[in-house]
Amino acid sequence: MQTLKKKIGTALAATTILFGAPACAQVQSTPAPIVQTQVPVAEQEMSGPALWVAKDEDTTIYLFGTVHALPDGIEWYTGPIADALAASGSIVTEIKMDDSMAAEAQRLVMAKGVLPAGTTLRGLMSEDEKATYETAMQKLGIPVAAFDQQEPWSAGMAIAMLPLLQQGYSAENGVEKVLLANSGDKPQKALETMAFQINTFDGLPQESQMKFLIDAAANVDSIKDQLDALVAEWVEGDPEGLAEIMNDGLEDQALADALLYSRNENWAVWIDDRMDAPGTVFMAVGAAHLGGEKSVQDYLEVRGIKTYRVQ
């Protein structure tokens, strides 16, 4: 299996690690037109996205890495994945996904992502950063002043997501949506809240937020190709290749610690605690959390819990 070596941008890495709903909510409030395009289905035979299991005498926890938004035409819900979900008594996702999610995301982004009075987004930029940003806004068909009152992380999420939405990616095709649609009346639980995820971005140093934003702007023409490369690794079932792409993009240590490593450790604690109760659980989290160094599995191993690859 040949690993794709294309480097993913900081903004796309961050946006795909954190759940996509806040970004989608922000983008949908902009006046930019959505262009419908045909997304070709990959011609390669899929070996299947990676699935792991941790178990003891009376508890089984499946760990499945997801992609939060996908184009049409990618079939993946088969075999061991479908069997594992069917055998599980509950499903666990990063945040609770229900009909109120989009409205809550919109509310939190607008509450947390607004700059103080008298401060503008472009006023925080150097001349070079401003030129990169304004060029990206023009390419996206958005007035350059549209996000002037937004904090850098908020504008960055919108700019990272909009090209994907314009070119066929959709959260409605995202893995969590498909899993939940096939989970029947199984209880749904969450590892985090929407407020926690928004606060994770909002609490980043301004320097990290600005790097996130400018990287999104600089890569506006290639961001879909970058996500296509990431999805190809996911479809092939190559978590290490996927982690290599993602980790290359997370050069900012504050961003990597906040969005990836600290959350992986927290989730390992959750799994360890859940192993004390009997039953079978299907846990679905962003695929970047389940590959590379400091993955959820690495933190589980530190706690004496072994994981085994199922698919």
Give the number of other Cβ atoms within 10 Å of residue 17's Cβ: 24
Over range 74-100, report the average pLDDT: 93
Q: Which of 194, 263, 229, 274 is nearest to 12 (CA)?
A: 229
Answer with the residue of higher pLDDT: 45 or 302.
302
Lowest mean pLDDT among 12-21, 142-151, 267-276: 12-21
pLDDT for res 38 = 33
| Mean pLDDT value of segment 189-207 | 93
> From CA 228, how far away is CA 37, in angstroms rounded?
15
Residue percentage of the chain with pLDDT more than 70? 86
Mean pLDDT of all residues in 143-148: 97
**Hey, which of 46-60, 157-171, 278-292 has the most confident mean pLDDT?**
278-292
| pLDDT range class, residue 99, cuts 50, 70, 90 | confident
| Among the ranges given (42-56, 103-117, 195-209, 290-304), the one the predictor scored with the smallest mean pLDDT | 42-56
Identify whether the C-beta of residue 149 lies closer than 8 Å to the C-beta of residue 121. Answer: yes
Is residue 286 helix, strand or coil? strand
Name the band, by pLDDT with cuts 50, 70 and 90, for residue 249. Answer: low
Residue in the block written with tokens 């178990």: 55
In this structure, of 45-54, 137-146, 159-168, 230-239, the range with the lowest mean pLDDT score is 45-54
Burial label for 268, CB within 10 Å (0-12, 13-18, 19+), is buried
Per-residue pLDDT band for 16 (boundaries 50, 70, 90) equals confident
Asked if 261 contacts 292 with a C-beta cutoff of 8 angstroms, the reply is no
Tokens for 90, please give them.
């509950």
Q: What is the mean pLDDT of residues 45-67?
A: 89
Strand partners, 283: 63, 92
